[in-house]
């Protein structure tokens, strides 16, 4: 993404290992405060709302853990739905569509997430 005005620093690049533990962050999505997470899959950083597409519940089975044992799928601990890490699209199980993707970028050893019309930072 080229617009730095909407970029918010999230973490150091080294904090995200391939198919490893996610980095959580809070966002305001469509006026509601909720959790999101960033992961690295096949060398690329991706971020999503922490909300299953089947029922709007947080997905991690242990804090900040979303990948199945193979490291190939994101899994909802409650419903067993699996999602493609690179796109957030539902691959199997009880889900409709896919996860809500959050734009991210990585430069200079830092991962940033990007705000949008429906996605804003939490204001304290």
What ranges do the domains of the chain cover? 4-119
**Other Cβ atoms closer than 10 A to 4:** 10
Q: What is the pTM of this model?
A: 0.93
Query: How high is the pLDDT of residue 3?
Result: 60
Tell me which CATH code domain 4-119 carries. 2.102.10.10
Contact 25, 36 (CB under 8 A): yes
Q: What is the pLDDT of residues 69-122, one digit of tens each?
A: 999 999 999 888 999 999 999 999 887 789 999 999 999 999 999 999 999 999
């Amino acid at each position: 993404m080229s617009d730095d005005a909407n970029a918010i620093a999230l973490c150091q690049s080294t904090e995200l290992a391939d198919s490893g533990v996610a980095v959580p962050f809070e966002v305001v999505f469509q006026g509601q405060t909720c959790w999101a997470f960033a992961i690295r899959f096949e060398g690329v950083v991706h971020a999503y709302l922490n909300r299953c597409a089947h029922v709007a519940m947080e997905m991690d089975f242990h804090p900040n853990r979303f990948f199945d044992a193979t490291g190939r799928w994101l899994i909802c601990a409650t419903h067993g739905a699996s999602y493609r890490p690179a796109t957030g699209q539902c691959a199997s199980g009880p889900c409709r569509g896919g996860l809500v993707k959050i734009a991210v970028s990585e430069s200079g050893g830092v991962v940033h997430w990007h705000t949008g019309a429906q996605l804003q930072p939490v204001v304290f």
